[in-house]
Chains A and B, each alone.
Chain A
Amino acid sequence: MKTNNVFFTAILMASSFLITVGSYAQDRKGPPRGGGHNPEQTKTLEEIGGYKIGDVATDFKLKNVNGNMFSLSDIKNAKGYIVVFTCNECPFAKMYENRLIALHNEYAPKGYSVIAINPNVSESNQNESYGAMQKRAKEKGFTFVYLADEGQKIAPQYGAVRTPHVFILDKERKVQYIGTIDDNARSAEDVKVKYVENAIKALEKDEKPNPSFTKAIGCPVKLAYN
């Protein structure tokens, strides 16, 4: 009898545990995160304006967080450029900071530097001011340049609409890839496709990145020209 009771309790406990776990699992609807869908983009940025794949991107002269002016042409022997429109405050931008540092550290020695540009820089927004940019760069130990697009002169030309928004240029500053860094902003561990890295690897082999255009949810660039 005693044995039975213990047995019964054990089974009851175990099953109630399993049931609760089961019902929890159902709370999150749907298939595994990520998933191998077709990443190919059907649309260019034409409607928004800005560059299309193959366009020659403009160089610029923007103030870096170290106080100096910076241009793409300052990078000697560049094989290409990873131009990233990003900012201080956007949670998506923040989630990618470490990945940008890793990208730069890996690929700058190979000729592909990360060039971060803040299109939302504004002295009236204390979180996106030049001073706040300097602070963020120091805190995070940015190994790449972090430039202030004051007066938003560059972002509209490129067609940056969200942060982070990546434009990979080749040696001739021809746009070879536009889009997102990888397929999982929230969790670097769960990334399945590293779009930017794949694009650079393609360029290194003298191939065209495929896909060359991807989309992502991101913070809207506060476009003055909107």
Chain B
Amino acid sequence: MKLQKSILLLAVSFLPLCYGFITENSELESTYLSSNEDIPIYNFESLKPLLNTNSDKVHIVNFWAMWCAPCVKELPILKEYEANNPNVEILLVSLDFPENIETKLKPFLKKKGITSKVVLLDDPDANSWIDKIDPNWSGAIPFTIIFNNKNRSYHERAFANLQDLENEINKTIKDN
């Protein structure tokens, strides 16, 4: 009898917790359906595979953040390039903070009409991974990698305009 009571108590005490989690989860799932509503959080090791490809398609990986003014200014250039070149693979690696995904990042992307894939890199000891991406990178953003399976270039600066970006892509991706 005593045991029964304590089990009941245990069950009851778990109840609110479960509901909390379940509701939160189903909310999350429902948002997966709309475009760019799922922003996964990566660390450097899990991001690394996305910085290489076997394909000869043009890939652009852009490190940026909402708090970085030149980055925000550059986003429309990437967006325009993507619109003109649907075959390009663009990945926006946000260095914003995980706690801001729902409240700031998603509304920001929606407002700017950004549909490129966005992931969030949360790996605080940047000194340990900046060199693994590019030893020439100081850590300042925006920082962009243009690559395919054969060629690769790194850009620690904001592209001035579409022409600038196209030039860099053409310089990098020579033989296809």
Question: Which residues, 1 to 58 on B, are CB-close (under 8 Å) to A?
Answer: 4, 7-8, 10-11, 14-15, 17-18, 21-22, 25, 40-46
Tell me whether A220 and B128 are in contact (CB under 8 A): no
Chain A proximity of B97: nearest CB distance (Å): 7
Chain A proximity of B159: nearest CB distance (Å): 13
In angstroms, Cα B129 to Cα A219, docked, is 17
Tell me whether B14 and A33 are in contact (CB under 8 A): no
Chain B residues near A35 (CB-CB < 8 A): 125, 128
Which residue of B7, B43, B127, B136 is within 8 Å of A10 (Cβ)? B7
Tell me whether B42 and A30 are in contact (CB under 8 A): yes
Tell me whether A215 and B68 are in contact (CB under 8 A): no
Q: Count A-B contacts at CB 8 Å.
A: 137
In angstroms, Cα B134 to Cα A42, docked, is 11
Tell me whether B46 and A30 are in contact (CB under 8 A): yes
Which residue of A3, A14, A37 is within 8 Å of B4 (Cβ)? A3
- Decide yes or no: A220 and B70 within 8 Å by CB, A27-B41, A31-B45 being known contacts: yes
Tell me whether B157 and A6 are in contact (CB under 8 A): no
- Decide yes or no: A221 and B131 within 8 Å by CB, A33-B124, A34-B124 being known contacts: no
Tell me whether A6 and B126 are in contact (CB under 8 A): no
Which residue of the partner chain A has the closest CB to B5? Answer: A6
- Decide yes or no: A90 and B128 within 8 Å by CB, A28-B41, A33-B123, A43-B135 being known contacts: no
What is the interface size of chain A, counting residues whose CB is below 8 A from a CB of the partner? 56
CB 8 Å contact bits of A66-95 with B (1 = contact, 0 = none): 000000000000000000000000110000
In angstroms, Cα B70 to Cα A101, docked, is 29
Q: Which residues of A contact B (CB under 8 A)?
A: 2-3, 6-7, 9-10, 13-14, 16-17, 20-21, 23-24, 27-31, 33-35, 37-39, 41-43, 45, 47-48, 90-91, 161-162, 179-180, 183-187, 190, 192-193, 195, 214-222, 226
Can you show 17 pairs from A to B with CB atoms below 8 A apart? A10-B8, A10-B10, A13-B14, A27-B40, A30-B46, A33-B43, A34-B125, A38-B128, A180-B127, A180-B139, A184-B124, A185-B124, A193-B125, A215-B130, A216-B126, A219-B140, A226-B157
Q: Which residues of B contact A (CB under 8 A)?
A: 4, 7-8, 10-11, 14-15, 17-18, 21-22, 25, 40-46, 67-70, 95, 97-98, 122-131, 135-142, 157
